[in-house]
Structure 1
Amino acid sequence: MNIYQQIESEIKAASHIVITSHKSADGDSIGSSLGLLHFIKKLGKKAIICHPDKAPDFLYWLDTSNILLMEESPEKVTEAFKQADLIFCLDYNATNRVGPEMQSLLEESTSKKIMIDHHLNPEEFPFITVSETAVCSTSQLIVELIEQSGHIDLLDETIGTPLYLGILTDTGSFRFNSVQPRTHEILAKLLASGVQHHIIHEKLSDNNTESRLRLQGYAMSEKLEILYDYNVAIISLSKEELATYNYKKGDTDSLANLVLSIKGMKAAIVFTERDGIMKISFRSKGAENPVNVLATEHFNGGGHANASGGMSDLTVTETVEKLKELIPQYFSNEQQN
């Protein structure tokens, strides 16, 4: 019995299944959660998704009615955890990634826990761990679960659409070096199951609001700073600036990748002041320019080598100055090469 067949056995034996994912939901956390939910339903079982907070608006073209949010319905989420005899931990490697409220519920639960994830350095709390750090997304691993447990025949458009979304968003539309030949094999299976990939791209790309575009324009024209000695670009946005452009969750998600598209850039780092702290998005190109170590060692974060997150409780100015002091330690000086 392979590990995916073991997971299938646990699904069939469970009475109350809860699917969780990390705080600050993204395409992969939403996609893998919904894909797994629909697969579990095809196996004749019931499950419920419990996430810490709401996903960005541009992901809500999917049917998210089965997702309970800790920030909106703490009593229902708490009850779901109390009843659970099987908890899936998707797209995160440590209990603190679900936020303090859900972390307590997760750690106090005596139910079996199954981690399916692709981030580095997973904690050892689960009963079963699938940790494939070379894989581009957790959504790809859910397809592996479906196929390697012997149920590829169950894959259809309902299951496949959110999984395609998760792979698409976590690979930057298939541009990151985490994309492997197996990724494209998986994508072919999703398309063969009825997934309409062109509609997913349209839903993600053609949904800008005027305020979002104006905020991005302001950030690029007024706040972009390029450290040419290191080919690193920085954008910082205060809470007042975000408010001026009627900021909504997800409005700055594409900024780092947009900046990284500038010719010659090694890395792009975007700071946004939200919820009383500085949220930081790190993006980079190439194995020689990892940003996860910088995020982990200095900004209470981490993630993938070329795509990481972090935070700071310093002011906007203090955080940016701290970063500038650290840049020479992590990126080579182009003037000396």
Structure 2
Amino acid sequence: MEISPLLSPAELLKFMSILKDARNVVITAHRGPDGDAMGSTLAWADYLMQLGKRVTVVLPTPCPDFLRWLPGAKRVLYYSKDEMRSAATQAVQNADLICLLDFNALHRLQDFAPVIERSKAKRIMIDHHEHPDTSCAQFIISEPKASSTCELVFKLIYQLGGFEKMTRSTAACIYCGMMTDTGGFSYASNDPEIFIIIAHLLTKGIDKDKINRNVNNTWSENRLRFFSYILTEKLKFYEDSRASIFTITREEMSRFHYIRGDAEGLVNEPLKVKGMRLSISLREDTEKEVVRISVRSVDDFPANALAAEFFNGGGHFNAAGGELPFPLEEAIKTAERAIAAYADKL
């Protein structure tokens, strides 16, 4: 089985022309970068640097600690950090090409969005979320059926003839993004081509078992106790245990010495209950007066539709998110209304 081309011949020529004309490139991804955002930006940066481009990865906010091992992560600039904001802004001002990876609209960049909007550089988008904003880039690669943006980056590099020179570091970043965005290939990963890509990545000498350990086996004692506390004390079930809600307050995060990424994967835990269809997490943001919301579902329950209707958000069919204003108590009521409204789908 061959790797299917991502672009038509005409699209490929146009894309190659855009890359050829670029000298200074900025790559960015959504706020709160996850494994796919980090993996795809770093892998794409590696490829472009092989082409002789000057590349800067600028992200709106820092990644979780468990992704800092990724090759190239130390070079990333974070716009939210005071000591990096000037350099990040200057990189965008100097850019003649901006690559938007793993998000479908500029508002996903939050405070960093105006900096991108002011730039006169050309923009390309590579993403797998539904409903891309076609006005925010001159060239858009949007494949909602793809497992991850990392899958798209691999296929793009492959079609551009870059696989032979792909480094182990690039391959590790791509594998990490594909692994994390599919829950270790437990969802959104039934396409046989995904595993053909993994086979290709393994030929580059990556240690997929170590990548898994780097991401999943680096918990602190505080994080383990935090998970236990939330699941024991804060988890509430609804609709005959087919839906659940849990909340996380600032006080609880302080009590358990929460660091960025400590809640990663927590919203998936209730789905391990037999018959569970929907899990909703409500977390008080530590920097803004908003409640961050994560929604996960299984089978044919539309998490993205629920998030769009009730939480000012969206995302994938079974994995979505959003946000609501303070206070948390009102967000809980909204989540309960959402469950009641979608009860016939549970």
**TM-score normalised according to structure 1 size:** 0.95
Q: Answer yes or no: is 1:106 the counterpart of 2:116.
A: yes
User: What are the superposed Cα offsets for residues 73-128 of structure 1, whole Å, 9 maximum, x if unpaired?
Assistant: 1111111111110000000100111112x211111111110000000110112111
Q: Aligned partners of 2:141 and 2:175: how far apart in 1?
A: 20
Contact 1:16–1:46 (8 Å) recurs in 2: yes
Counterpart of 2:128, as a letter, is: H
Contact 1:94–1:122 (8 Å) recurs in 2: yes
Of 199, 216, 220, 1:209 maps to 220
Counterpart of 1:90, as a letter, is: L
Q: Answer yes or no: is 1:319 the counterpart of 2:331.
A: yes
* Map of 1:300 onto structure 2: 312
Q: Answer yes or no: is 1:44 the counterpart of 2:52.
A: yes
Aligned-pair CA distance for 1:156: 2.5
Contact 1:4–1:145 (8 Å) recurs in 2: no
For structure 1, which runs of at least 5 residues remain unmatched after alignment? none
**TM-score normalised according to structure 2 size:** 0.92
* Map of 1:158 onto structure 2: 169
Change (3 A) 1:192 1:4: farther
Of 125, 129, 134, 1:119 maps to 129
Aligned-pair CA distance for 1:326: 2.2
Aligned-pair CA distance for 1:188: 0.9
Contact 1:283–1:306 (8 Å) recurs in 2: yes
Report the RMSD for the aligned CA atoms in angstroms: 1.4
Q: Aligned partners of 1:13 and 1:333: how far apart in 2?
A: 50
Aligned-pair CA distance for 1:176: 0.8
Q: Aligned partners of 1:139 and 1:121: how far apart in 2?
A: 19
Aligned-pair CA distance for 1:10: 2.2
Q: Aligned partners of 1:92 and 1:75: how far apart in 2?
A: 23
* Map of 1:280 onto structure 2: 293
Q: Please list, as runs of the form range in 1=range in 2, the aligned pairs for 1:194-273 lying within 5 A after superposition.
A: 194-229=205-240, 231-273=242-284
Contact 2:239–2:343 (8 Å) recurs in 1: no
Instruction: Give percent identity, aligned residues only.
Output: 34
For structure 2, which runs of at least 5 residues remain unmatched after alignment? 1-8
Q: Aligned partners of 2:12 and 2:44: how far apart in 1?
A: 13
Paired positions, count? 332
Aligned-pair CA distance for 1:149: 1.2
Which secondary structure does the structure 2 equivalent of 1:183 belong to? helix
Q: Aligned partners of 2:11 and 2:167: how far apart in 1?
A: 23
Change (3 A) 1:152 1:232: same
Q: Answer yes or no: is 1:26 the counterpart of 2:41.
A: no
Q: Answer yes or no: is 1:192 the counterpart of 2:203.
A: yes
Most deviating of 54-63 and 229-238:
229-238
Aligned-pair CA distance for 1:333: 7.4
Counterpart of 1:321, as a letter, is: K
Q: Aligned partners of 1:10 and 1:71: how far apart in 2?
A: 29
Aligned-pair CA distance for 1:4: 4.1
